[in-house]
Amino acid sequence: MNKLYSGSVILFGLVAPLIVALIALLVISSIKSSLLGDFKKNKLAYQQEQAIQQQITALKNQTAPQLTQFNQWQDLVSDDVYQKISSGIREQASMSPTQTMMITSESRSQAAKNIENILKRNIVGIDIALNGTYKEIQSASLSLETASPNLFLHSFKLTPGRGKLLDLNLTYLAWAKD
């Protein structure tokens, strides 16, 4: 072989193909690691999603029995909460065994506005004045509070009435839907 051509042959016959092969090998290696990395990342994301779906299914199975109760609670805080409380206490007064319990007054409470501003939640208040025996008043308020879990007693004042009757002034507050 001629010495004049040997440099060119070595450069274009050996070195250039070797450099092209190395570049191709680096590109293929980079693509492979990228694909494998994406595969591992996607596989991990898939496994996490499967675990979350299993947790969701378990929570749904746990909470399914309470769904009817939740719907009842939703009904309690929707629509006109004041009207529901008012009709509830009227129903309790009408069911009084001795018919001596009476609702002497009923109005919307202003106490709810103060708490509503502090808590930034929709709260309904009702002031109720009852007259009756201790047992009747206690039974009526217990039934009302049991039937309305969104209801809480803000204040009360118990004074003796005429005869064996008591006068009870109650202020109830109730959560309402925003």
| pLDDT digits 0-9 by tens, 117-176 | 777 778 888 899 988 888 888 888 888 888 888 888 888 899 888 888 889 998 888 887
How do strand 166-175 and strand 102-108 relate by DSSP bridges? unpaired
Per the CB < 8 A criterion, the answer to whether 111 and 154 are in contact is yes
Q: Kindly report the length of the chain.
A: 178
Q: What local confidence, expressed as pLDDT, does residue 103 receive?
A: 84
Predicted TM-score (pTM) above 0.95: no
Token reading at 135: 């047992």
Q: Which amino acid is at 145?
A: E
Domains of the chain, residue spans? 3-65, 78-175
Report helix, strand or coil for 79. Answer: coil
Question: Given 2.40.50.140, 3.40.30.10, 3.30.70.60, 3.10.20.90, which CATH number is that of 78-175?
Answer: 3.30.70.60
Q: What local confidence, expressed as pLDDT, does residue 54 receive?
A: 95
46 versus 41: which is more confidently predicted? 46
125: closest CA among 134, 136, 116, 137?
116
| pLDDT digits 0-9 by tens, 92-120 | 778 777 777 888 888 888 877 777 777 77
